[in-house]
């Protein structure tokens, strides 16, 4: 029987959700739910996205 990932909410608003999943294979993935769109990131991609967000906030 496959193991389910362990998930944790990082941040949440009325319309948006960011959460992290510890996958059974040891990989950590990150997910942004933006209304009807979900964007999935691996660790390296998530770090790059955070760097982009910091630049936007300037």
Three state DSSP letters for 4-24: CCEEEEEEECCCEEEEEEECC
> In this predicted structure, what is the pLDDT of residue 25?
93
Q: What confidence tens digit (pLDDT) does each residue in 33-45 have?
A: 999 999 999 999 9
Residue 56, pLDDT above cutoff 90: yes
What b/e sequence results for 34-50 when a residue is b if at least 16 CB atoms lie within 10 Å of its CB, and e otherwise? Answer: eeeeeeebeeeebeeee
CA gap 41, 57 in Å, rounded: 20
* Cβ 28 vs Cβ 22: under 8 Å: yes
CA gap 1, 24 in Å, rounded: 12
- pTM, two decimal places: 0.88
């Amino acid at each position: 029987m496959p193991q389910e990932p362990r998930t944790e909410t990082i941040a949440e608003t009325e319309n948006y959700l960011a959460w992290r999943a510890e996958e059974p294979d040891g990989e950590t993935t990150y997910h942004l739910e933006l209304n009807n769109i979900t964007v999935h990131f691996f660790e390296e991609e998530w770090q790059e996205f955070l760097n982009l967000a910091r630049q936007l906030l300037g």
